[in-house]
Amino acid sequence: MKNTDLNQVRRVLIVGGGTAGWMTAAMLARILGEQIDLQLVESDTIGTVGVGEATIPAIQHFNAALGINEAEFLRETKGSIKLGIQFENWGRQGDSYMHAFGPVGRQLGMASFHHFWLAAQAKGDNSSFWDYSLNYQAAKAGKFSPQSQLPNSPLPGLQYAYHFDAGLYAAFLRRYSEQRRVKRIEGLIAKVEQKPSGDIATVVLTDGQVLSADLFIDCSGLRALLIEQTLAAGYDNWQHWLPCDSALAVPSEARYPIVPYTRSIAHGGGWQWRIPLQHRTGNGLVYSSRFLDDEQAKQTLLSNLDAPALAEPRKISFVTGRRKQQWRRNCVAIGLSSGFLEPLESTSIHLIQSAVVRLVQCFPATQDMTALSNEFNRQSQQEFEAIRDFIILHYHLNQRTDHPLWQYCREMALPDALAQRLELFRHSAQIFRQQDELFTEVAWQQVLLGQNLLPASYHPLADSLTKAQLTGFFADLKQVVSKTVTALPSHQSFLQSQS
């Protein structure tokens, strides 16, 4: 049966620009460009949050789907390479570990590498888990070069993401989109009009323009103009698990050489991010107003910069959680309008990306969108809750005694799924994940071990190797990693080669 012309979804209006709006426009134009009439309305007078400058490796797939050249992208966005996130002071003060992308070690048979590492530790080995991470060793050495496979080895090459200027990325994607027939409309929205059914009919601009569409995409940020202010989709508030509700953001002068990793530094009442770009460093402090006032937060941030600030810190207030319906009626929320998860694991831009891809996959042929929106919302909820639990893990596993925020997080009740995972790991060192979950088992292992949770036992298969066999296995892995890192060019020279 053909879709009737009258009932087809042809006209799509994106409300709001920024990273969310232009990522959405670019992908829809690339995939559905000939089948839809795509418009985006934004106002130059409304600022964007614009602190999402660190990403995870999936961003490569997004850029590749758009046909974007990596060197051009790095030039246009003042980007740098990200091999992982270094977490400092998250277990105990003075501790440091990295959630490095890519594998650690090499799996043997049906048991993950970390079981063999735990077995070796029990037999007196004192090596670090990260001795066997190519990404970690390259990050700390300031080295990088793209390669899919290590020479003469079954091991994969470096897994990487990017740091970039989110404002420059949005401008880059705007140019991309406008070259593909996306029409940008400058204007402020004065009111939103609904049909008798409750669907959105039009948005009316302050200059009197009336914009109608079959499908509306809310990229209006924390204001959630359509999805909440108009359609009252509801909100799941997660502040009892993630009590931080404020952030201060400030750029500082660039430091050279540019390191290929993000830093997350825990302080008394929150944590600080440091993101190195080619032209500046992005900094911020995420904190809980219940445990730290704004002036204390400002002083903590400014006193912990590694270079002079380039502006006054800018405050962002938020409520951690998710929209109960991220697709309601004929409106889909993408970006901060759909929910907020603090940037501890650099998931903000990824959540935009995954929502856009999910929308393309669930794009409605007709204006009867109920079944598709139900599936979209089911997948979105699952994704948000899995990322939420991974972020909670960092807070809960602290051993700090210097501030009530950390005590609260250590003692709070956990979501059931996270509590079960922790119990399983404590007893058996096992981590199992749902098939579509974002974070890998190796990612979970690094946070659990990095924040000092050593399990009571490990897989029996790890005892199938003698101490001598384990020693030889580890020595071979170390040698491969060391030789590879030694041969890599510096991250700084790689960036210069792309300009």
What pLDDT, in 10s, does the model give residues 162-191? 999 999 999 999 999 999 999 999 999 999
Report the DSSP pairing between strands 262-266 and 246-253.
Answer: unpaired
What is the mean predicted confidence (pLDDT) over 315-338? Answer: 97
Mean pLDDT of 331-347: 96
Burial of residue 428 (CB within 10 Å: 0-12, 13-18, 19+) is middle
Where does the pLDDT of residue 128 fall: very low under 50, low under 70, confident under 90, or very high at 90 and above? very high
Q: Give the active site residue among 2, 78, 82, 298.
A: 82
pLDDT of 5 above 80 = no
pLDDT of residue 353 exceeding 80: yes
Question: With 80 as the cut, is the pLDDT of residue 6 above it?
Answer: no
Q: Is the pLDDT of residue 434 over 90?
A: no
Is the pLDDT score of 2 beyond 60? Answer: no
Q: Give the three-state DSSP class for 177.
A: helix
Average pLDDT over residues 330-359: 97
* Helix, strand or coil, per DSSP, at residue 227: coil
Closest residue by Cα to residue 166 from 40, 65, 55, 86: 55
The pLDDT value recorded for residue 3 is 59
pLDDT over threshold 70, residue 444:
yes
User: Residue 45: which pLDDT band, with cuts at 50, 70 and 90?
Assistant: confident
Summarize the confidence of residues 99-119 as an average pLDDT.
Answer: 95
Q: Write the pLDDT tens digit of every residue in 367-390.
A: 999 999 999 999 999 999 999 999
How far apart (Å, rounded) are the C-alpha atoms in residues 453 and 445? 10
- Please give the torsion angle defined by the CA atoms of residues 324, 326, 327 and 333, in that order, rounded to the nearest 10 degrees: 150
Q: Is 82 annotated in the active site?
A: yes
* Tokens describing residue 35: 């089948």
pLDDT for 467 beyond 90: no
- pTM, whole model, 2 decimals? 0.96
Residue 362 gets which letter from DSSP? Answer: T
Q: How confident is the model at residue 266 (pLDDT cuts 50, 70, 90)?
A: very high
Average pLDDT, the chain: 95
